[in-house]
A and B are shown apart, each in its own frame.
Chain A
Amino acid sequence: MHAHAAPIALPAVRFASVVRHFGAVRAVDGVDLSIAPGEFFAMLGPSGSGKTTCLRLIAGFEQPDAGHIEIFGETVEGLPPYRRAVNTVFQDYALFPHLSVGDNVAYGLRVRGIGRADRDRMAREALAMVKLSGMETRRPAQLSGGQRQRVALARALVVRPKVLLLDEPLGALDLKLREEMQSELKGLQRALGLTFVFVTHDQSEALSMADRVAVFNEGRIVQVGPPEEVYERPATRFVARFVGSANVLEAREAQALGGPARPSSLRPEKIALLAPGAPVPEGAALVEARVTDVSYQGPVRRVSVLTGEGLALTAAIPATAAGAMVGATVRLAVPRDAVRSMEGEQ
């Protein structure tokens, strides 16, 4: 549908010190952001963190109170949504209930003045792209949640946006469908070479789909980077806890484990449970602690422990490993290089 976008230096979306407040609430509080053309960009954060407002600022449903927004180099402050080359897949899909599926998809073409025959053909092609051929005459009310989402996707893509915005695109789907749609969205994005910006509160969704993730908290971006970096090297306590529930260590605690004398993060799955009498691996610190809680999570067990010094840690160990019972004392190995300084903390 789309030829590959010419390699231009301009970012697809650029925010410079963007502020948006609602009354006294600073929903977006000085956000700087640069999204590359063709990038699959995730805005991750808890509800109320400003990620959805940022998406609406790109779409044009909100206007910034301060700062500057560009889409492919064009200043868009003051431009209404219908003059922007971006389209949105809404969280509730927002399909028009009075129109058939085909007319829903053709809506954007209709308001652009494209004739009935052409727009019907393009709508058919778009529906084929999302594997909904033959559904043209149905009503949105007759479709399942997953099908409605595909219609919303086709409706947004048929008008060939430069940037596609997705607001919690998988939030309303069940787990199986969600995993299916994840890989399908990723495939579509790759095939079309389009810039996708999506908002989610689900860290696993952001990590599995995005090329880069921006983590939002209280109206600001606290960290932005590729999923591996955000996951492996969280910059702040908030990111460490929100993305994958890492252990947060104070400087003193990090140092005691052989890490830097700075606030640090420690991923639960890096901690190994040692069999009784087994030697401590090279480059790892030994921690002896009492198990306070065990929770079975399928592939892993999350084991909470408390050391004699009062340090609480959570370790994720393979579910097949034996020996972690509540009240038992266990020996844990913490690799030194797994204790990582959080650069955003003092």
Chain B
Amino acid sequence: MTRAPLSLKIAAIGGLAFLHIPLLFILLYCFTTEEKSYAFPPPGFTLKWFGVVWGRADIWAAVGLSLKVASIATVLALILGTLAAGALARARFFGREPISLLFVLPIALPGIVTGIALRQAFGLMEIPFSVWTIVLGHATFCIVVVYNNAVARLRRLSPSLIEASMDLGADAFQTFRLVVLPNIGTALLAGGMLAFALSFDEVIVTTFTAGQQSTLPIWMLSELIRPRQRPVTNVVAVLVILVTFLPILAAYYLTRHGEAVAGAGK
């Protein structure tokens, strides 16, 4: 093994620092005593903002709405994404490629296009804005994430495993539960966690589909404009980092060893 040259090491460290130092500033300003601007260094340190966050009903409403939307969108994505992957992973039929493309398109399209399209569609159909319109908006990209994970794992699954299960007397439902699901389980878990994290911090599509309600990211955006109690936003941001980062970390560790499970029958 050759060692990386010094310049490459410096570039790598620089890149990582550029990505992560701003996060440290968010953490730092959770504790500042200055509430109107982010002066460096902070004039003093306090824990009072955590108390303020705890006491504010609007934050808890936003957190609750975000958790609710992300949970429903994830469950919806798990069901529909898995079904779609099951249909498209192996079967050969006319129009299969266009349908696969249409499935993946929502994540490639700019969120603003998805958002405007949904808003106009809801308007035309006279559907009032609610939790469900947000959920539908988020489901468009959450399904893609689950679908992509599931379809990749399904394609690695030997088709003779499914035939063997049916041959041994299992019907389609038993085969799915006892053979397919255990073999794609980690992929679904990873896809679901990613979908949850994406939904939890989504802003653009939500802006167009939320009406008067605020999800957490929307609340933060509106809070930044206000002149007072700025560190409150920082405290909430740190909470968001925890809520989105932990599932992604878990998904990474769960799927890291997934190859051995799916490929062992080959």
In the complex, which of the residues B163, B167, B174, B261 contacts A97, with contact meaning CB atoms closer than 8 Å?
A: B261
Min Cβ gap A159→B in Å is 6
* B183 sits at the interface (CB 8 A): yes
Cross-chain contact B170 with A90 (CB below 8 angstroms): no
* B226 sits at the interface (CB 8 A): no
Residues of B close to A91: CB separation below 8 A = 160
When chains A and B are docked, how far (Å) is the Cα of A94 from the Cα of B170?
15
* A203 sits at the interface (CB 8 A): no
When chains A and B are docked, how far (Å) is the Cα of A110 from the Cα of B168?
10
Q: A111-B174, A111-B178, A141-B264 are in contact. Are A96 and B166 (CB under 8 A)?
A: no
Cross-chain contact A159 with B168 (CB below 8 angstroms): yes
Min Cβ gap A98→B in Å is 4
* A112 sits at the interface (CB 8 A): yes
Count the B residues whose beta carbon is within 8 Å of the partner chain — how many?
24
When chains A and B are docked, how far (Å) is the Cα of A91 from the Cα of B171?
22
* B182 sits at the interface (CB 8 A): yes
Residues of A close to B263: CB separation below 8 A = 97
Cross-chain contact B179 with A96 (CB below 8 angstroms): yes
* A296 sits at the interface (CB 8 A): no
Count the A residues whose beta carbon is within 8 Å of the partner chain — how many?
29
Q: A90-B164, A107-B178 are in contact. Are A95 and B169 (CB under 8 A)?
A: no
Residues of A close to B266: CB separation below 8 A = 92
When chains A and B are docked, how far (Å) is the Cα of A97 from the Cα of B153?
14
- Chain A residues 70-100 with CB under 8 Å of chain B are 80-82, 86-88, 90-98
* A169 sits at the interface (CB 8 A): no
When chains A and B are docked, how far (Å) is the Cα of A23 from the Cα of B261?
35
Cross-chain contact B160 with A111 (CB below 8 angstroms): no
When chains A and B are docked, how far (Å) is the Cα of A90 from the Cα of B168?
12
Cross-chain contact A92 with B261 (CB below 8 angstroms): no
Residues of A close to B161: CB separation below 8 A = 94, 96-97
Cross-chain contact A90 with B169 (CB below 8 angstroms): no
A/B pair count, beta carbons within 8 Å: 81
Chain A: which residue is nearest B179 at the CB level?
A: A96
* A206 sits at the interface (CB 8 A): no
Min Cβ gap B252→A in Å is 21
* A108 sits at the interface (CB 8 A): yes
Q: A97-B183, A98-B182, A107-B178 are in contact. Are A92 and B167 (CB under 8 A)?
A: no
Cross-chain contact B179 with A159 (CB below 8 angstroms): no
Min Cβ gap A13→B in Å is 16
In the complex, which of the residues B169, B183, B261, B264 contacts A111, with contact meaning CB atoms closer than 8 Å?
A: B169
Cross-chain contact B169 with A82 (CB below 8 angstroms): yes
In the complex, which of the residues A94, A140, A141, A159 contacts B163, with contact meaning CB atoms closer than 8 Å?
A: A94
When chains A and B are docked, how far (Å) is the Cα of A92 from the Cα of B158?
9
Residues of B close to A87: CB separation below 8 A = 167-168
Q: A88-B164, A107-B178 are in contact. Are A96 and B169 (CB under 8 A)?
A: no
Chain B: which residue is nearest A59 at the CB level?
A: B167
When chains A and B are docked, how far (Å) is the Cα of A93 from the Cα of B158?
11
> Which residue, of A111, A140, A141, A155, has the highest number of chain B Cβ atoms within 10 A?
A111
* B28 sits at the interface (CB 8 A): no
* A139 sits at the interface (CB 8 A): yes
* B165 sits at the interface (CB 8 A): yes
* B265 sits at the interface (CB 8 A): yes
Residue interface bits A43-74, CB-to-B below 8 A is 1, else 0: 00000000000000001110000000000000
Cross-chain contact A108 with B265 (CB below 8 angstroms): no
* B262 sits at the interface (CB 8 A): yes
Chain B: which residue is nearest A141 at the CB level?
A: B264
Cross-chain contact B164 with A94 (CB below 8 angstroms): yes
When chains A and B are docked, how far (Å) is the Cα of A93 from the Cα of B163?
11
Cross-chain contact A61 with B183 (CB below 8 angstroms): no
Q: A92-B160, A107-B178 are in contact. Are A97 and B265 (CB under 8 A)?
A: yes
- Chain B residues 113-127 with CB under 8 Å of chain A are none
Cross-chain contact A97 with B264 (CB below 8 angstroms): yes
Q: A92-B265, A107-B178, A139-B264 are in contact. Are A82 and B171 (CB under 8 A)?
A: yes
Cross-chain contact B167 with A98 (CB below 8 angstroms): no
Min Cβ gap B156→A in Å is 11
Cross-chain contact B262 with A97 (CB below 8 angstroms): yes
- Chain B residues 130-179 with CB under 8 Å of chain A are 158, 160-161, 163-171, 174, 178-179
Cross-chain contact B265 with A159 (CB below 8 angstroms): no
- The 6 tightest CB contacts between A and B, nearest first, are A97-B264, A108-B168, A94-B164, A94-B160, A111-B170, A141-B264
26 A-B residue pairs with CB within 8 Å: A59-B167, A60-B166, A61-B166, A80-B166, A80-B171, A81-B163, A82-B166, A82-B167, A88-B163, A88-B164, A90-B163, A93-B265, A95-B265, A97-B183, A97-B261, A97-B263, A97-B264, A98-B182, A107-B168, A111-B169, A111-B170, A111-B178, A112-B169, A141-B260, A141-B264, A159-B168
Further 7 A-B residue pairs, CB within 8 A, beyond A93-B265, A107-B178, A111-B169: A81-B166, A92-B265, A95-B164, A98-B183, A156-B167, A156-B168, A159-B168
